[in-house]
Structure 1
């Protein structure tokens, strides 16, 4: 028979693995300018939510780089327009752009990067867009993010 202490310890060890899976996701991008997800739902119980971008292609970032950018849906076009002029050195994002909620750096084939979002900064029911800001990529590489109710 297990003691209450041993059972409590098992629960502590098991809980973080479940919570980590629930409060994070991995999104893959490829050389065909595609994300493998078009929507992400963030559980409202998460304090933070981590998105890991994994480039499954082989091309370098200068030729087929990808990033993952989160804004409100209303800010997407403006961020893309300003980001294109900012160049690869700035990850195709205007430096200090307050409209950007979270983003990864631009990565090339076989690379990955992560970003963490404070869920309290997102509004349940809010309209959020994610996309790749590499010039021209957002036409295909985009999706929606929502917070569970």
Structure 2
């Protein structure tokens, strides 16, 4: 009987280890009427085939007054993309259409809404410098953070 219990314990430990080693392929952020994301730093695993951005707007204000999105760029491109996004306007979700500097972007959402977007995992490299931000006018300076790609 002790052998069976030992084997069961080993099997459970192996499963727990595998669960802990699962790659993180999702960037999940919340933003509310206070113009802040709930996190300033996030990480994803380098081995992901696809990376998903998930945004939940936890506030109550409508998209026209306090819209949020997530835009992901290389860090050196973030400020220029945010500026160009304002020129692109609300109809374009304040994201320049076809801009190669934009690695991924969700649509704008208002209070109580959510949005997702994805990108190939190969677009992010370990050691690279990446920034996420909200491109709604006036938000990018407060609503931003960094993405770390872990091996």
How would you bin the TM-score normalised by the shorter chain? 0.7 to 0.9
1:138 is aligned to 2:131: no
- Name the SS of the counterpart of 1:108 in structure 2: coil
Deviation for aligned residue 1:51:
1.5
Deviation for aligned residue 1:19:
4.8
Instruction: Could you tell me which runs of 5 or more consecutive residues in structure 1 were left unpaired when the two chains were aligned.
Output: 2-6
- Name the SS of the counterpart of 1:102 in structure 2: strand
- Aligned equivalents of 1:54 and 1:97: distance in 2? 24
1:23 is aligned to 2:25: yes
Q: Deviations over 1:21-77 (max 9, x none)?
A: x32232100000010011111112221121210000000000000000000111111
Residue equivalent to 1:43: 45
Residue equivalent to 2:77: 75
Deviating beyond 4 angstroms after TM superposition, the runs of 4 or more aligned structure 1 residues are none
| Largest Rg, 1 or 2 | 2
- Aligned equivalents of 1:34 and 1:109: distance in 2? 13
1:96 is aligned to 2:115: no
TM-score, normalization by structure 2: 0.83
- Aligned equivalents of 2:122 and 2:137: distance in 1? 30
Residue equivalent to 2:61: 59
Q: 2:129 aligns with which of 105, 122, 127?
A: 127
TM-score, normalization by structure 1: 0.84
Aligned CA RMSD, in angstroms, stands at 1.9
| Greater CA drift, 41-50 or 58-67 | 41-50
